[in-house]
Amino acid sequence: MKTLGLFRHAKSDWHDAVARDFDRPLNGRGRKGAKLMGRHIREDGRTWHRVLASPAVRVAQTIEIAGEGSKSRLPVEWDRRIYLASSATLMDLLREQEGDPGAIIMVGHNPGFEDLIFDLVPEDGQDALRNIVEEKFPTATYAVLELEIDDWADVEGGCARLVHLMRPRDLDPALGPKASPRED
């Protein structure tokens, strides 16, 4: 069995006049959400053997803020392919992992993460966590999947169970949805 964590970047600043989407930073709400979710991920107590992340500014800031106060930090493996990747690309990245880590956490973007969950976790209509993801996989959400595989090379559709899902609003209702034109 393998464990896959997905941590979507925190809320970004759509009002920042950066030239490229890639360079968009977190806003104040995003910084609060990243800190809160970083604490939750530590308290969740899982051991991650590898961190794969998009090098986008908002992802790097999410990792930095979420990791504050952590006693041990794994080196981050930055991979540009994660930036706005499709589910198929994310699965390919997992399949090529070497050294057979038991648990990988990816930090990146939607819609790729949401679609990856839909592809890996079979739909049976009874999975309450998957049903929440069908509604929305908001910024700074943390999900954990258990994959019924022995090697990352064997990742395929339908091989996982979603065993944990936490959104910032679950820990602090003030970080819930706001009436805004963009929810990224």
pLDDT above 70 covers a percentage of the chain that reads 93
- Provide mean pLDDT across the span 95-103: 94
Work out the pLDDT band at 69, boundaries 50, 70, 90: low
Predicted pLDDT at 181? 42
Please name each of the domains of the chain with its CATH number: 2-172 (3.40.50.1240)
Q: State pTM to two decimals.
A: 0.92
| Cα 129 from Cα 58, distance rounded (Å) | 26
Residue 86 has pLDDT above 90, yes or no: yes
Residues in Cβ contact with 136 at an 8 Å cutoff, skipping those fewer than 6 apart = none
